[in-house]
Amino acid sequence: MLTADSAFLVVEAALVLAALGAIDSLLTSLVADNMTRGRHDSNRELIGQGVGNSIAGLFGAIPGAGATMRTVINIRSGGTTRLSGALHSLVLLAIVLGLGPLAEAIPHAALAGILVKVGYDIIDWSYIKRAHRGPRWDLLLMVMVLGLTVFVDLITAVAAGVVLAALAFIQQLAKTQLASIGDISLRDMDEEETALLKTVDNRIRIFDFGGPLSFGAAADMGHHARERTGGEVSVLILDFSRVPFIDMSAATAVETILSDAKNSGVTVYMTGMRDAITDLFKGLGTFTHIPAAQVKPNRKEALSEAVMLIKEEKRAAS
């Protein structure tokens, strides 16, 4: 009788088998793609595998998945179509139904030799020879995943590899984002903008966000802005014209920039924002930190108004 405890064990085992089967099939498909220079359909592969295992379970069969070694043998033997996989299944069915005595006569040493040869062929030796020349982190990650696969299990190895690779990617993305953030170059401005900027003697600083903004760069965005708004700077223009998207953490960092500028007496203009970014800032209440008149559709309009503001301040001071 199925109880709550046994049901939990059944569901847990089913999820583990499903994850292992999916990973195994996708890795096998990747190996096949590299060998045939093709492109598999992951959704079709996994849906077909799920349907097949569901039906097989009704007959008490063991769930299966794509097998890398059998696939490599199939391809190296000349199999190029779905028919080769189907014939392989038919041969196994024939062995189970009546040809078992013939298969039993094959020496285990011969089968072991075949497995060793196929396993050797699966390894990408050209990459192994060049791996030490690439990023050390990628080499370390590969060795770690290999070790976890051999000494723990495939699911743990894949999970750890995906998480660590994602963290490394986020770190690299953050460095790229921070490198693209900074003062806009005069080469990126037209003649009219350049002429306007030269009339105010470095009183205006245009802060160009050179690409997408994510939480990886959010922690240092405020620091970069503070570094560029010291001294005689009285107007800061935040240019979002090259920003395709921004996440919550980066949007919060923008609020910090606005607050710091307000406390320092620096006037801030925001310009070039796409509709999605504008909607995000509205939802977060970011625009409460800046007058609506200082949100401009383009950089030139913001720059023109900032120049007029500085000239008025000069006249008032004189």
pLDDT value of residue 222: 72
Mark whether 188 and 313 lie in a shared domain. Answer: yes
| DSSP label at residue 131 | G
Residue 217 in tokens: 């760069």
Which residue has tokens 């990650």?
141
Q: What residues contact residue 279 under an 8 Å CB cut-off, 6+ apart? A: none
pLDDT value of residue 83: 85
Residue 65 in tokens: 């998945």
**Rama region for 69: left / alpha / beta (φ>0; ψ in -120 to 50; rest):** alpha
Strand order in the sheet with 182-183: 182-183, 204-208, 235-239, 267-271, 295-296
What's 293's domain CATH number? 3.30.750.24
Mark whether 307 and 269 lie in a shared domain. Answer: yes
pLDDT value of residue 229: 66
Mark whether 9 and 102 lie in a shared domain. Answer: yes
Q: Phi/psi of residue 254, each to 5°?
A: -65, -40
pLDDT value of residue 284: 86
Mark whether 189 and 300 lie in a shared domain. Answer: yes
**Can you tell me the distance from the alpha carbon of 76 to that of 73, in angstroms, rounded to the nearest whole number?**
5
Mark whether 74 and 118 lie in a shared domain. Answer: yes
CA dihedral 162, 165, 169, 171 (to 10 degrees): 120
Mark whether 124 and 18 lie in a shared domain. Answer: yes
Count of the separate structural domains present in the chain:
3
Spans of the chain below 50 pLDDT: 186
Mark whether 40 and 113 lie in a shared domain. Answer: yes
pLDDT value of residue 219: 67
Mark whether 259 and 312 lie in a shared domain. Answer: yes
Mark whether 123 and 146 lie in a shared domain. Answer: no
* Model confidence, pTM: 0.61
Mark whether 231 and 244 lie in a shared domain. Answer: yes
- C-beta of residue 213 within 8 angstroms of C-beta of residue 179: no
pLDDT value of residue 186: 47
Structural domain that includes position 154: 130-180
